[in-house]
Amino acid sequence: MSKILIIEDDISFCKLLEKFLTKNNYAVSIAFSATEARLAIQNETFDLILTDLRLPDADGIELLAEFKSAYPHIPVVLMTGYSEVSTAVKAIKNGASDYISKPFNPDEVLVVISNALAMEPETDVEVNPVQKSTKKAVKESTTTVEYVQGISAASKKLSEHIKLVSPTDISVLIIGESGTGKEIIAQSIHHQSRRKENNFIAVDCGAIPKELAASEFFGHLKGSFTGAISDKIGYFEAANGGTLFLDEIGNLSYENQIQLLRALQERKIKPVGSNKEIEVDIRIITATNEDLREAVKNGDFREDLYHRINEFSIHSPSLAEREEDLILFAEFFLEKANMQLHKDVIGFSKEVVTIFQNYDWPGNLRELQNCVKRATLLTQGNFIESAVLPVEFFNKRESKTDSFSLSENEKEAIENALIKTKNNKSEAAKLLKITRKTLYNKLKLYDIQ
């Protein structure tokens, strides 16, 4: 199977071309800049290079000359707009095998590539086996935690922080809006740590009733309370030697915060109903979508626990902050949806790409993933078109303050906010623009369960 390197800074077009060539039995790698291309060609052997004439960090003609000088056996095909055909013709005189004009005719692409490969002798150079195994390991690890390496400044900063903190045992607090992939970040830290061979246990603190928190965290013995029909291992013991991820930690009651702090300080737990202490060796990663410093100031969150879990903080950027990564994530979710739904959708129409780029994505990556999966299911052809997108993409969004105003009917507004956030009280308080403490007081006032 011939291996092709595509160098193109238009992400949506690049991904589209990658899928087209893959479907036609070519192995494809992509680079969004000349810098990425240079790194790729150092680590892998390619049979053909397909490069755009205009790149953000290099001139296509100069890059052609560079590659033909260093790798004369690899044919290079240029991609150009119609207005640049004369430049492409000149490039052929400088060593390019051929050129393709945009927009492409699929049959023309296959013919040009086939001819370029036939013109050049096959290379017998083998990729360094160590490099091959390393790349495979990285890919498998990335797939396991579904971590997408973005190209935006926010994504690069996030990746840098993950890389720095992963090998340590420092407690990490991940801060970000709902749907930004905080658990994926936590998994990525775990899989790059020395604890990666042991368990990663994820806990949604918002889903644990405060009366059962001690049992859930530390376990219990049979008969220790009504309903304890058998012994239970708690999250701390299950994560022993590995990583315990506590999502939405701000939802824990004050009493549960005290229990958690004691366990983190002493690194010992006592199951409910037991007199025996169990030593645990775990790394703590926590996440929140609220400002815990404000919660500390308001007396809703213990300051000593806050400092215990926040030895290092990581910002999980919203999709709005990762604008350049939008199509990368969309393509990733499309690939996932194709596998899950046994579909073979190639990509997104230009109209859909524009709609995606103009939408504000309040639900962040979670909303994007759900949207792409639904659209993939509904798509009958090769491309996702605007007709299969949800109606909210075409309606003016109603503001949260209008939808969840307390001025008219408090009880109904609170109930609607809880439904909207699936009973996540921190999120509901945000929608209502009140503190979590105020929300709890109003829940008691209106007897809302």
Residue type, 81: G
63 and 84 in contact (C-beta within 8 Å)?
no
Length of the chain: 449
User: What is the per-residue pLDDT across 209-267, written as a single tens digit (0 to 9) for each?
Assistant: 888 888 889 988 888 777 777 888 889 999 999 999 999 999 999 999 999 999 999 99
4 and 28 in contact (C-beta within 8 Å)?
yes
Residues 280-295: what's their mean pLDDT? 93
The model's pTM: 0.62
Residues 79-108: what's their mean pLDDT? 69
Residues 84-110: what's their mean pLDDT? 71
Q: Which domains, and CATH codes, for the chain?
A: 3-127 (3.40.50.2300), 151-316 (3.40.50.300), 319-393 (1.10.8.60), 400-445 (no CATH)
User: What is the per-residue pLDDT across 139-157, written as a single tens digit (0 to 9) for each?
Assistant: 333 334 566 778 888 999 9
- Confidence band, pLDDT 50/70/90 cuts, at residue 122: very low
User: What is the per-residue pLDDT across 161-184, written as a single tens digit (0 to 9) for each?
Assistant: 999 999 999 999 999 999 999 999
β-pair partners for 285: 172, 245
Residue type, 343: K
pLDDT at 127: 38
pLDDT at 137: 31
Residues 51-64: what's their mean pLDDT? 82
CA–CA dist 108, 92 (Å, integer): 17
Angle between helices 129-145 and 182-191 (to 10 degrees): 140
pLDDT at 142: 34
pLDDT at 308: 95
144 vs 369, residue with greater confidence: 369
298 vs 401, residue with greater confidence: 298
Q: What is the rounded average pLDDT for all residues in the chain?
A: 83
Answer whether residue 312 shows pLDDT above 60.
yes
Residues 105-127: what's their mean pLDDT? 67
- Confidence band, pLDDT 50/70/90 cuts, at residue 368: very high
